[in-house]
Amino acid sequence: MEKNNKESVEIEVPKLNYRGWRVMPFIIGNETFEKLGAIGTLANLLVYLTTVFNLSSITATNIVNIFNGSASLATLLGAFLCDTYFGRYKTLGFCTFASFLSNFLAHLVHHM
């Protein structure tokens, strides 16, 4: 008697893994344009504070430095939250949207 042994053949479907060097141009491009937006905002903020709000240049410079320092420290907070809770892409998406929204609101306030 012959036995019909059916061997189960499992076909592995490669899992898409979007990590590493393939996504780095998008992350670097995003961070580059975000930094350019922040630098442009800093230069315009100094002029805006001295002309519209009539602040002294020392007070306006202090405000701009506090803004710049808090924006730089926010990356550390974002990195901690990214590594601990949310994951890199959710954090990057949220921070990109928050940066866009803050720049858009600053643009709207400027034109009021």
Provide the domain limits for residue 29.
Answer: 23-110
Tell me if 16 is assigned to some domain.
no
What is the arithmetic mean of pLDDT over 68-78? 85
Tell me if 53 is assigned to some domain.
yes
Q: How confident is the model at residue 17, as a pLDDT?
A: 64
Tell me if 38 is assigned to some domain.
yes
Q: How confident is the model at residue 77, as a pLDDT?
A: 87
Written as one string, the DSSP assignment of 31-89 is: HHHHHHHHHHHHHHHHHHHHHTS---HHHHHHHHHHHHHHHHHHHHHHHHHIIIII-HH
Tell me if 71 is assigned to some domain.
yes
Q: How far apart are CA 57 and CA 73, in angstroms?
A: 24
Tell me if 6 is assigned to some domain.
no
Q: Report the number of distinct structural domains present in the chain.
A: 1
Tell me if 82 is assigned to some domain.
yes
Do 49 and 63 meet the contact criterion of CB atoms below 8 Å apart?
yes
Do 41 and 103 meet the contact criterion of CB atoms below 8 Å apart?
yes
Q: DSSP label at 23?
A: T
Q: How far apart are CA 28 and CA 93, in angstroms?
A: 14
Backbone dihedral angles phi then psi of residue 85, each to the nearest 5 degrees:
-120, -50
pLDDT per position as a tens digit, 3-62: 555 566 677 777 766 666 777 788 888 888 878 888 888 888 899 899 999 999 999 999
